[in-house]
Structure 1
Amino acid sequence: MSSNRIKWIDTCKGIGIILVIIGHTPIDPTARSIIYAFHMPLFFFISGYFFSEDRYKNLKEITISKFKSLMIPYISFSIISVFLLRFFFDQPIALRVFLEQMIISKRNSISYDDPIWFLTSLFTIEILFYLLAKLSKNINIRLLIVLLIGLVASIGLKVLAGGNILPWSLDQSLYYLIYFGLGYYIKRINFFENNKQKSYVIFLNSILFLLLIPFQEVYYRFWNLLSLPSSLFSFIDAIIWAVLGISLVIFVSQFLSYVSWLNFLGKNSLIFMSLHIPLGFNFYNTFIRGKLGIEITNLNLFGISVALCTIIILIPTSIIINRYFPFILGRNLNQMSVLKIKEKGL
């Protein structure tokens, strides 16, 4: 059962990272809006699903653990991305600008590799949720609190409009805390212990999501009848789309969990998230599109082709990083320290 759980989770992450990559290509705005409705909530949901405050004795322990697993990759991929820009575009490295953007880590303001805002945001969310778990043992109260925090952030900081992006994308963290908390809640009530392929909730949510896409006008006409304040409506609407989209990915993953390359993408989603723009896109534009003179005739087909080439480029990259440079991912750090001590003869 544990093996099956890991497989469907990896498949979800594999589907999710494909959507992330496609969403960053010049696809049709309507297609992008659909992808953006749930692809990042999906990753925060999965992170919350695996979270357990019982693994850590105190705040110091979880901070050190999450620094290794999230902040070391953040710093590592930041440095790698800057040198990749130097390689592809022969740009001088502006050290002050690089350090400023890396330290502040504001979404849409990390010029060398914007997607890695996710890592600092998730680091913040993990710490916040740990503190929340220590304040209240009741999982229902925790879920209510994260919903209230997300609502306040959505209205007060205009998160959904991207109006007030804070350092470390804290505004986004306060909103995405909802999906992290929801994933945690779903795991704690054992919602997925039954056969997910036959779950009526997941199935109906998936169907509803697919129906909403062509019938959005009818959907929004219904909401207009309620005359809700625009900020409250935007908040509820975003959660509905995200939950339904997450349900669809979970449902589909049950039938695709045997696809090994999807599982591979899921297991290495951190690498694909961090390098698909600075390495994948830049390699494609420089050595494939640039050399062949490929013209854009259909946005969606072009986006899918760019995503496919990027995935092919990053597969061997992922294998190399895992095999020879795991410290980039915050792994085997203790082993490295032991090796250094032995080399010094201490």
Structure 2
Amino acid sequence: MTKKEINSQIDYITIAKAIGIIMVVCGHIGGIYKIIGIPVFNSKPSEIFPIYSYHMPLFIFISGYFYKQGYIYDIKGLIKKRLKTLVIPYYKWNLFYGLLVTVLINVGLFNNGNKINLYNYFLEPIFQGYQYNLNGPSWFLISLFFIQIGYTLIRKRLNNNILDVKLSLLLFIITIIVNIWSNNIVMENHPIPLFLSRTLFGVLFFHIGYCFNIYFKSKNNLCVPDLLFIVFLKYFLTIIIGKNYTLSMRTMLLRGMSIVPILSAILGIIYILYISKLIEKILLNRDLKYLKMFFGFISKNTFAIMMHHMTINMFIQLILDSMDKNNIVYIIWYYSEDVVKPVICILFSVLFNKYVGSFLDEIYLRIVIMFKFLKENKLKENKNVHLKDL
């Protein structure tokens, strides 16, 4: 790959997407995310920008950034495309993890998940989404599918004539109402309200991403004073509310706040965009070929990383638990794991998705062929019986 080809594939949105998935991984297994978030507080979390205040809205924002207005007139095309890229691959792996976790529970090697059944295979991913734990973070993929469809239906219902600024205001008000609703019941115990509130919460950030691409893409120039102003705003917001705010979009746990979740997420997204723009500028001005390829590689493989990093972390932990704590390898690992562990989880997640995924595809294909063969034989038998009766 030439330098020109590499540079053409790396922009700040690509970098922001890569940073986003790195934050997801670090949030689950530990890592260097605290440095990116600017740790200044004595409380936990200590960062000005805790990852659980913005990382899921960031992914929704980026998805909205790439949304095409033509989908409003071709919603069937959108559904077909997202079924192929999000839903079907998700359920393929959900079956694998359901069976794997069931086996691990039965042999006593795992107790942090559920045995597979029809509800937690088909419906729980839609209404909740952490049924088997090892693929728990991938709840977001199904949620993103419904967010995109929901956003498209809203625009189609409004005949796409409403000004984006008015739609932004409308969605902002709806999200505040949804947040108030979420603060008054334990959403995790009410699957359908959880699904509705989570989807509507996501629609706002999807729209913001879409509007950013349309109206602000060319205006996002790196300006250090602006970056410092965003940092100051978030610091000031933290001081005003009296705590370093985090939320759980998966369970719509908003900790009694209605407007703060929106503001925290928006400021976190803007912060990551500025950081990404700074990294983009450094990469374009210096011959850092492998770092560019690293960001591009991570950005292209967010599905695999989100789906499998908890599994890879489990294998790492099993290996560590079997090692002598005085072993030199264990000691080196102990002092370097904040950097090494996320990298290993990311790389092996991609490999796991590629090779185990190919194996699963072959198995699924053989099962489909077998059922097709049995169906054809059954039809032939029925036809022969019918002919004999004549």
Whether contact under 8 Å (1:284, 1:309) holds in the other structure is no
Determine if the alignment matches structure 1 residue 175 to structure 2 residue 201: yes
Choose the corresponding residue for 1:220, options 218, 233, 241: 241
Correspondence for 1:34: 50
Correspondence for 2:120: 100
Q: Secondary structure at the match of 2:82?
A: helix
Whether contact under 8 Å (1:158, 1:164) holds in the other structure is no
The answer to which of 58-67 and 147-156 deviates more is: 58-67
Correspondence for 1:155: 180
Alignment of 1:1-346 (within 5 A): 7-25=11-29, 29-30=44-45, 34-55=50-71, 57-85=73-101, 91=107, 94-96=115-117, 99-105=119-125, 106-107=127-128, 109-112=130-133, 113-134=135-156, 135=158, 136-137=160-161, 138-158=163-183, 162=187, 165-167=190-192, 169-189=195-215, 191-194=216-219, 196-198=221-223, 201=226, 203-208=227-232, 212=235, 218-220=239-241, 234-257=257-280, 258=283, 259=291, 260-277=293-310, 279-293=311-325, 306-318=341-353, 320=355
Matched letter for residue 176 of structure 2: L
Shift of residue 65 of structure 1? 1.9
Whether contact under 8 Å (2:98, 2:121) holds in the other structure is no
Shift of residue 66 of structure 1? 1.7
The answer to which of 150-159 and 66-75 deviates more is: 150-159
Q: Secondary structure at the match of 1:197?
A: coil
Structure 1's 293 and 81: CA in aligned 2 closer, same or farther, altered over 3 A?
farther
Hey, what's the Cα distance between the residues in 1 that align with 2:202 and 2:51?
16
Hey, what's the Cα distance between the residues in 2 that align with 1:272 and 1:160?
32
- Deviation per residue, 1:274-306 (Å, 9 max, x gap): 1111x212111122344355999xx99766554
Structure 1's 251 and 318: CA in aligned 2 closer, same or farther, altered over 3 A?
farther
Q: Secondary structure at the match of 1:24?
A: helix
Q: Secondary structure at the match of 1:78?
A: helix
Hey, what's the Cα distance between the residues in 1 that align with 2:185 and 2:10?
31
Whether contact under 8 Å (1:205, 1:244) holds in the other structure is no
Shift of residue 36 of structure 1? 0.3
Structure with more contact order per residue of length (Cα contacts < 8 Å, sep ≥ 6): 1
Matched letter for residue 348 of structure 2: I
Whether contact under 8 Å (1:7, 1:263) holds in the other structure is no
Matched letter for residue 261 of structure 1: F
5+ residue gaps in structure 1? 223-230, 341-346
Q: Secondary structure at the match of 2:217?
A: coil
Whether contact under 8 Å (1:71, 1:120) holds in the other structure is yes
Whether contact under 8 Å (2:308, 2:353) holds in the other structure is no
Shift of residue 76 of structure 1? 1.7
Given the two structures, how large is their TM-score scaled by the length of structure 1?
0.75
Matched letter for residue 139 of structure 2: W
Matched letter for residue 30 of structure 1: P
Structure 1's 301 and 82: CA in aligned 2 closer, same or farther, altered over 3 A?
farther
Hey, what's the Cα distance between the residues in 2 that align with 1:139 and 1:321?
44
Matched letter for residue 22 of structure 2: I
Hey, what's the Cα distance between the residues in 2 that align with 1:164 and 1:54?
37
Aligned length: 315
Hey, what's the Cα distance between the residues in 1 that align with 2:27 and 2:230?
20
Structure 1's 159 and 274: CA in aligned 2 closer, same or farther, altered over 3 A?
farther
Shift of residue 235 of structure 1? 2.2
Q: Secondary structure at the match of 2:260?
A: helix
Structure 1's 221 and 99: CA in aligned 2 closer, same or farther, altered over 3 A?
closer
Correspondence for 1:228: none
Shift of residue 16 of structure 1? 0.7
Matched letter for residue 24 of structure 2: V
Hey, what's the Cα distance between the residues in 2 that align with 1:265 and 1:155?
36
Q: Secondary structure at the match of 1:291?
A: coil
Aligned residues with identical type, % of pairs: 23
Structure 1's 17 and 153: CA in aligned 2 closer, same or farther, altered over 3 A?
same
Whether contact under 8 Å (2:130, 2:137) holds in the other structure is no
The answer to which of 4-13 and 109-118 deviates more is: 4-13
Given the two structures, how large is their TM-score scaled by the length of structure 2?
0.67
Structure 1's 49 and 86: CA in aligned 2 closer, same or farther, altered over 3 A?
same
Structure 1's 7 and 318: CA in aligned 2 closer, same or farther, altered over 3 A?
farther
Correspondence for 2:377: none
- Deviation per residue, 1:82-104 (Å, 9 max, x gap): 344367666599442x6435423
Correspondence for 1:225: none
The answer to which of 109-118 and 192-201 deviates more is: 192-201
